[in-house]
Chain A
Amino acid sequence: MVSGLYGDVFVCENSRISFIPDSSVYTVTINDIEECFHCVCSYSVHTYQNSIRKGYVTLSGGHRAGIAGTAVCDEKGVSSIRDISSINIRISREFIGCADSLFNRIKLNGMKSLIIAGPPSSGKTTVLRDLARLIAGEEGGFQKTVIIDEREEIAACSNGLPGNDIGISSDVLTGYPKKESILQAVRTMAPENIIIDEIGNVDEAAAIEEGLNTGVNFFLSVHASQKNELLRRPQIKKLLNTGAFKNIVLLSDRKNPSQISAVLSADELGL
């Protein structure tokens, strides 16, 4: 099945596409899934074992393959995935210029930390990537920016070289766990700004708080489609309570990717 802005389509055995899952639609076999899994891992499962444990593999170019199967657990948690039943490949796109209006707003406000929220596939990573390009490029006066790219989706580094335009003065920490990398970036890279994708827990928020105390601006994204969802997330509450994040940009849905639907102020959220 292929999903896109035009809806869902199915691939038939004769390589044509169909809008309905009828008998001509190709049924994927277990062997196909296995071969596809090894292929997305570049025939090197050991290289991707950490991300496989988290249920995904990042492909070269920043594309992401989500893996569904049966978890193999040990005392530390999920150690591996077996009996892979489906793979969801998300194609990453670089959309230059999608953060222009947001960047102008940030510039007007005097470069303050910002949270970008949105539902899945709303373009959070795309906006962050373009924001990095602007801040660390000529438009932003080549500000020293560290991109914490745990899932290798923002910069899409291959052999240490970024595959996307992320600005001249960007440093990329690829594959690091967010919490450790925030502290490492602050201590060793002397950044003016740090860009992080998908803040997931309170520990990461605590590391950001520590970073904020050193005078670094943070531009980060979180999963949340509405104001209420934002307020229900403890890590957002923790971040807003620091007083460093004055605004939250809410992105639209998957049908209008990278579009700003609202800009909420911290006061408006009652925090």
Chain B
Amino acid sequence: MRLAGGFLLAASAVFCGFYMSDIVEKRCRVLNECISLVRYISSLIEYSDEPIKKIMQKAASSNEYKMLTFLNFTADADISQGFEKVWSESIDMNNGKLLFSPKINELLKSFGNKLGKTDSAGQKELCNYYIKQFEILFSASNEKRKEQKRLCRVSGCAAALIFLVFVI
């Protein structure tokens, strides 16, 4: 019984560690995709003045934004009722909500609310601002990822030690 309990305790500790680090890892990837998306939007606006609907369709058909599934909803939606509403609802429908921290959610929504409301110069400035904001979140997440990798290693060793103690 003691053995089984110890084994379960160690296994759950390792599992939790890996699960947490996996979330942080994925969150980093989400943020990376967000930065890339805003850069893509900025370039389409700057060089071809593409309308928002077309930009969304192009982004949704790209393989680069696999984790940003909300783009598919935005691309398919009828924006005549208002792009802000469509964008906000699409973000809420995104798969893997756990990866979208409240901060990422908030940032994405406020970016969508301002998209398409000014001329190209204004949109470029807007995109630059949000790229910086996402980069700040990304570097914070990246730090957390590194920390958790270290923690994972330590907790794995500790779990193994506990298990060994119980066996002895």
Q: Which residues of A contact B (CB under 8 A)?
A: 35, 38-39, 41-47, 49, 52, 79-80
Count A-B pairs with CB separation below 8 Å: 47
Given contacts A38-B117, A41-B116, contact A47 B50 (CB under 8 A): yes
Binding site for A on B (CB under 8 A): 45, 49-53, 79-80, 82-83, 115-120, 122-123
Assess whether A46 is in contact with B118, with CB atoms less than 8 Å apart: yes
Asked if A47 and B49 sit within 8 Å, CB to CB, the answer is yes
* CB contact between A46 and one of B79, B83, B116 (< 8 Å): that residue: B116
Top 7 nearest A-B pairs (CB, nearest first) are A44-B51, A43-B83, A49-B119, A44-B116, A46-B120, A43-B116, A47-B51
* CB atoms of A42 and B51 under 8 A apart: yes
Whether A45 and B116, one on each chain, are in contact in the complex, defined by CB atoms closer than 8 angstroms, is yes
The answer on a CB contact under 8 Å between A44 and B119 is no
Distance from A22 Cβ to chain B, minimum over Cβ atoms (Å)? 31
Min CB distance B88 to A, Å, is 13
Residue numbers in B under 8 Å from A44 (CB-CB): 50-53, 116
Interchain CA distance A224-B116 in the complex, whole Å:
37
Chain A positions within 8 Å of B83 at CB level: 38, 43
Nearest Cβ distance between residue A113 and chain B, in whole angstroms? 34
* Alpha-carbon gap, A41 to B123, bound state (A): 15
Residue of A nearest to B115 (CB): A43
A80 CA / B118 CA spacing, docked (Å):
9
- Given A79-B119, A80-B119; 9 other pairs, CB 8 A cutoff: A38-B82, A39-B80, A41-B116, A43-B51, A43-B117, A44-B53, A46-B119, A46-B123, A47-B51
